Every structure is written in C-alpha cells, then in structure tokens.
C-alpha cells in the first residue's frame, strides 16, 4: 500500500471511529450501518475514481437524511462529503466539482433544517464556510499540481528539443566530416589510381616512365596521409588554428596533378574574400576529380575562373570542361556520389548556382557562379572551418 492509501485508511477510520468507541452513540445497525458504510468506505477509493466515489457518498448522505437513519455519530461521518468535495476539486473537471459542491451545500442545508436546534443560522454559516474553505484549498492544490505538471512538460519539451538539436548537430557534423574526407582523399586517390594503372600499361615499353609515375604516386600518397592526419588532429583536438588556406595560385598546381589540364584566371582577384577563394578551389578540385574518374584516358580538361570587376552585381564564374568520351553515368573509376552534391552544397551556401551536364560534342562541363557583392554575403569573414582549409604545400589532396 502506498503512503496515499495509508492516509486514506487513517482518514476513514477517523470518520467511523465514533460509531465504534463511543458507547453513548450506540452501535449502528440495519440502514444506519449501510448509510455509515456508504459515507466512509468510498474514501478509500477516492483517488482512483473520484466522481464515482463522490456519487456514492452523496447517495448515502441523502439516503440517511430522507430515511432519518442517523445517530449521534453520523454528523462526523458526514464530513466525508467535504473530503470528497476536496477530491473532486483537485482531480476532476470544474463542472463535476461544482455540481458536487451544490449537492453538498444542499445536503448540509437540508440536514441542518431537519435536525433543527437553536443555532440553525450558525450551523448553516459554519457548513457554508467549511464548503468554501474546502473548495479554496482544493483550488490551491489543483493550481500547484497544474503548475508542477506544466513545469515538467516544459522540461520534457526542452529536453526533447535538446536531444533533437544534438541529433541534428551530430548529423551535420557527420556530413561535414564526410565532405571534408571526400575533399581530401577523392582527388589524390583518383590521381594515384590513374597513374598506377597508367604505369601498368607502359611497364614493358617505358620503364623510366614507370619510375617517374611511381614516384608521383608515392608523393601523392604521402600528401594524402599528411592531410588526413591533419584532419584527424583537428577532430581530436576540437579545432586548432587552421593552416594556411589555398589561394588562386594553387589552382595551377592542382591542375598539374591532372594530365592535360590547364587553368586560366581572369578578372580582379585582389579583393576576393578568402572564404570565396576556398570554395573556388574546392569546386575546381572536385570537378577535376570527376575528370579523372569519368572522362577516360587521354582526356583534357580546361579550367576557367573569371572574377569580374568590382561592382554591385559582381560574381565569380568557374567553368571546368573536358573532352572525355566516358559519360558521367559510366565512370571509369568508382564514384561515391558525393562530388556533385558537395559542390551544390558549397555553391548554395554562398547563394550561387551550379550547372553540370554532358557536352553535346563529348565530355562534361561544370559551371558555378558565386556572388561577390557585399550585400549578399558574409564574405568579409572567411566561410571556412578548421578542416576546410588546405595548406599550399598540398595541392593534390584537398
């Protein structure tokens, strides 16, 4: 039994005690016993079915009044009506409690007038004050419980929101890490695979070319490992100061890692924000990676970056096209599917546009635009994080 059940049992015993221990009151029997039981026993179940138990108490009280089945101990037992009224105010709707309050007031009024006595007015006032006091006490307890429940609900809602935000942040972090790993490894590994397979083709006819190619593969692999270690260090340390960011000049070295790729940069580039430069570098890097993967052997790529002139509607235009014969749907090397999606995310982040499609004359073409006007961007601050920068010493692996 719970503490609440023990308290109700003690209350029921207190209400019925006069019938047991007071010799002057006599022993209840017959209808008196039924009325007394109906007044007291429902107190034990008032917390579980308050409306039903209150109805039983009211019925027993009116039965005792109409049949005159009371004795000296019954007035004390009638106080169970006040207990049930308090319970209804605390635990049920206001209409139910109000109806029970009117029935209780009516009963006490009728009972006082029926019993009579010299102090009828005082008795009516006493019972009226008792009913009002019980009602106000119940209202206070109900308000306190409602407040605590509302605080608990708000706490649960806040906790749920925190968990949702944590899940969203974790998902965003996983996406960011996946994008950074793709940026770091996709280009260098693709170059390594292409050079290794090229070395296999000429291993019998040009051993010197094989040696040069293997040295390039080794150097590229070391650069990839260096960049991977840097990213892991960032993840473990929680974000140290980022290394130097790539510049537009690094585009030439990036293109040199892909045989047959040329770069042309035009326009006024001195005032291009560092955050935009990083995105230009990443877009060109991913586009060249796709050339290595999809264009086929012997394909040539051309990179054109136009930065425009200072003005309100200034924008950077990046175009990477190749003359390969393999379509994007038939990759020469396996594809993760993150390349174009990553480029679209980067372009959308800066309010730009991206077009990627096969060329009618053969090959593939990627065109991206990034707005440069001050009103559109937060470009005055580099839009990078600690893993979105590439040291100028690693043009292949970013």
pLDDT for position 238: 64
**Domains plus CATH for the chain?**
3-116 (no CATH), 174-376 (3.30.565.10)
pLDDT for position 22: 60
For residue 339, give the nearest of 120, 108, 179, 150 by alpha carbon. 179
256: tokens are 């040199």
pLDDT for position 241: 43
CB atoms within 10 A of CB 47: 16
**Cα–Cα distance between 301 and 307 in angstroms, integer?**
20
The DSSP bridge pattern shows strands 315-322 and 301-306 to be antiparallel
Evaluate whether 295 touches 332 at the Cβ level (below 8 Å).
yes
pLDDT for position 388: 46
CA-to-CA separations, 140 to 48, 89, 90, 99, in angstroms, rounded: 20, 10, 8, 19
pLDDT for position 21: 64
Evaluate whether 234 touches 240 at the Cβ level (below 8 Å).
yes
Mean pLDDT by runs of 10 across the 398 residues of the chain is 72 70 60 79 83 87 77 66 89 88 88 76 87 92 91 93 90 78 73 77 79 79 78 67 70 77 84 85 85 74 85 83 64 55 82 88 89 53 42 33
Give, as one character, the DSSP assignment of residue 45.
G
Beta strands in the chain (DSSP E): 261-266, 301-306, 315-322, 353-358, 364-371
**DSSP character string of 208-248:** HHHHHHHHHHHHHHHHHHHHHHHHHHHHHHT-----PPP-T
The DSSP bridge pattern shows strands 364-371 and 353-358 to be antiparallel
pLDDT for position 381: 42
CA-to-CA separations, 301 to 133, 260, 292, 304, in angstroms, rounded: 89, 6, 9, 10
Instruction: Tell me the chain's radius of gyration from C-alpha atoms.
Output: 43
Q: If you search the block for the tokens 């007071």, which residue do you land on?
A: 22
Q: What are the φ/ψ torsions at residue 352 (nearest 5 degrees)?
A: -100, -165
């Amino acid at each position: 039994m719970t503490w609440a059940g023990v308290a109700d049992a003690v209350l029921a015993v207190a209400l019925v005690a006069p019938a047991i221990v007071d010799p002057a009151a006599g022993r209840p029997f017959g209808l008196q016993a039924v009325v007394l039981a109906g007044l007291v026993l429902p107190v034990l179940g008032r917390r579980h079915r308050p409306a039903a138990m209150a109805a039983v108490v009211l019925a027993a009280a009116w039965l005792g009044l109409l049949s005159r089945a009371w004795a000296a101990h019954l007035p004390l037992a009638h106080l169970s009506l006040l207990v049930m009224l308090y319970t209804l105010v605390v635990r049920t709707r206001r209409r139910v409690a109000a109806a029970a309050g009117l029935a209780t007031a009516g009963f006490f009024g009728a009972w006082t007038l029926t019993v009579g006595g010299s102090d009828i007015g005082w008795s009516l006032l006493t019972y009226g004050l008792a009913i009002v006091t019980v009602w106000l006490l119940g209202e206070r307890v109900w308000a306190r419980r409602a407040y605590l429940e509302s605080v608990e609900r708000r706490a649960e809602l806040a906790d749920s929101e925190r968990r949702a935000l944590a899940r969203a942040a974790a998902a965003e972090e996983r996406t960011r890490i996946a994008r950074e790993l793709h940026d770091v490894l996709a280009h260098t590994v693709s170059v390594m695979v292409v050079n290794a397979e090229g070395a296999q083709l000429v291993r019998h006819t040009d051993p010197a070319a094989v040696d040069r190619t293997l040295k390039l593969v080794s150097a590229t692999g070391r650069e990839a490992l260096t960049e991977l270690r840097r990213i892991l260090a960032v993840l473990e340390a929680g974000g140290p100061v980022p290394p130097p960011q790539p510049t537009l000049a690094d585009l030439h070295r990036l293109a040199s890692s892909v045989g047959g790729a040329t770069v042309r940069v035009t326009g006024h580039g001195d005032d291009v924000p560092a955050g935009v430069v990083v995105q230009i570098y990443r877009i060109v890097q991913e586009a060249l990676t796709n050339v290595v993967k999809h264009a086929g052997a012997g394909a040539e790529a051309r990179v054109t970056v136009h930065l425009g002139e200072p003005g309100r509607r200034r924008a950077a235009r990046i175009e990477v096209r190749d003359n390969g014969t393999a379509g994007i749907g038939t990759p020469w090397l396996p594809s993760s599917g993150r390349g174009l999606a990553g480029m679209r995310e980067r372009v959308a982040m800066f309010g730009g546009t991206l077009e990627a499609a096969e060329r009618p004359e053969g090959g593939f073409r990627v065109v991206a635009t990034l707005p440069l006007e001050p009103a559109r961007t937060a470009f005055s601050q580099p839009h990078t994080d600690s893993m979105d920068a590439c040291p100028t010493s690693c043009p292949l692996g970013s």
